[in-house]
Structure 1
């Protein structure tokens, strides 16, 4: 009986030809999964790819690609119709994808905790739901004098750091729909002119930092950043604190937020 995954070799010697069985190393489960994922990604990047094109894109042997495509086709993850060259993504992927609900709170919480360990001030993660900016995750300040927030709190879009960060992710028509006059003046510093707000957002979009200097609440300031979308949701994160501390720590907080955004981008890419 032969060995699975083995090959036969022959060596000549004094006693004649000697048959030897050489066992080939099998890929581990992890390697097999990685190769299958590479095939799926290659087909996603170029639907209708031939086996040869997939092999070139993945760096796998054509025979390996043929075996993986056959297995993925049997599971409905790929479709390769008999007699046709092209390979396409299967409907089973769509069915599985429809069951996935990506939880931005769970994914970002560890990075938020790292940020809080560095800054120790109030941190709000917000999204937009039903045309409202809503806090979906929050870590409170460690300070005795602090800005208070909570999960479920609604933020006005026109005068908060995270609200402006959300505006920066919208096209002009979408942003204007959020800035229909009259806009409420929460403090003497609140800007209520939609054009001035849009100009301010545009001016700070490149830097990626958006500031509320006592526009939402007297004696409170905040700075926020827009984040990559997760699960199709617009996301922003802001750090808020009393104005006196913000004046001392502004540059430190800005640097920490930019580091946070880079960490999110490194972990999750532009969006997931």
Structure 2
């Protein structure tokens, strides 16, 4: 990235911050004055930001104000902040209940980002730091999140090439599509030796106040300790943990069930 590009990005950020004054709208000349930039440069920045939905022009005054995308970004930040607060106690209980590492993952493009994590007390454990990104198609958290995407988005994901990280990684779209349908039906997902040989995990969905799946809660362990029997035994605990976080976010599964029956 060139110095000129960095300067443009910095000026775009400064321009967006100028709207923190919460004025109804601000004109090009006034923005140029506040930022000590040329009017033509500010106009080009505004045109680009408007094309991306970050600002919009007030048809009445001709000035500019923040666009709907900024609101949506703010809501996304709020969800993640709320998610951290809601998940903390549940993660601690899940880790103590199962004895295994527990984490919260969210979908970002084709990857899962772990936004919260508590490590197992076992001497033999996994080391996946908070903030780490992993491919969605070969992790239990990713499968949960992909399974609950709107169908067009899910199909768009399945149409893209998927990396085979181990001999057990599912890269056939038809096979993965069927597995995602099974995840939706039973309420949880698993991945064994798919991202890394010797690693197993299970995951369950977390829903927000609207019932949308916004994250996944998972537990992972060395596959030698986390075989089929313990995975099945802990699956119910994991689903309940996901529901507990969802309740703390405002989701009411009883109301949702009644709504489906109506």
Q: Does the pair score TM above 0.5?
A: yes
**Going by fraction, where is helix more abundant, 1 or 2?**
2
Q: Secondary structure at the match of 1:114?
A: helix
Structure 1: runs of 5 or more not aligned: 1-93
Q: Residue by residue, what CA displacement relative to the aligned partner does 1:167-203 show, whole Å, maximum 9, x if unpaired? A: 1111221012223442111111111011210111102
Which residue is 1:37 aligned to? Answer: none
2:115 and 2:131 in contact (8 A); partners too: yes
Which stretch shifts more, 208-217 or 131-140? 131-140
Where do residues 28-39 of structure 1 align in structure 2 (5 Å cutoff)? none
Give ranges in structure 2 of 5+ residues lacking alignment.
1-70, 254-262
Structure 2 match to 1:261: 242
CA contact (8 A) 2:143 2:183 kept: no
Q: Write out aligned runs for 1:188-227 (5 A).
A: 188-227=167-206
Report the CA distance between 1:261 and its aligned residue.
Answer: 2.3
User: Which among 75, 91, 94 is matched to residue 112 of structure 1?
Assistant: 91
Aligned pairs, number = 176
* Structure 1 stretch displaced more, 244-253 or 151-160: 244-253
CA deviation vs aligned residue, 1:79-136 (integer Å, no higher than 9, x gap): xxxxxxxxxxxxxxx9xx97x9241112211111111111121112011235532111
Offset at residue 230 of structure 1 (A)? 6.4
Change (3 A) 1:255 1:158: same
Larger Rg: 1
* Closer, same or farther: CA 132–251 of 1 in aligned 2, 3 Å: closer
In 2: Cα distance, 1:202 partner to 1:242 partner: 26
- TM-score, normalised relative to structure 2: 0.61
Task: Provide the aligned C-alpha RMSD in A.
Answer: 2.6
Change (3 A) 1:212 1:250: same
Whether 1:101 aligns to 2:83 is: no
TM-score of the pair, normalised by structure 1: 0.59
Q: Paired residue for 1:244?
A: 224
CA 1:148–1:183 in 2, change beyond 3 Å: closer, same or farther?
A: same
Question: Aligned partners of 1:101 and 1:181: how far apart in 2?
Answer: 30
Structure 1 stretches of at least 4 aligned residues deviating more than 3 Å after TM superposition: 230-233
C-alpha deviations, 1:28-68, integer Å up to 9, x for none? xxxxxxxxxxxxxxxxxxxxxxxxxxxxxxxxxxxxxxxxx
More strand by share: 1
> Deviation of residue 214 (structure 1)?
1.0
Answer yes or no: is the 8 Å Cα contact 1:225–1:258 preserved in 2. Answer: yes
Corresponding residue SS for 1:244: coil
Compared CA separation, residues 130 and 188, structure 1 to 2 (3 A) = closer
Please say if 1:187 is aligned against 2:169. no
Match of 2:100 among 106, 121, 139: 121
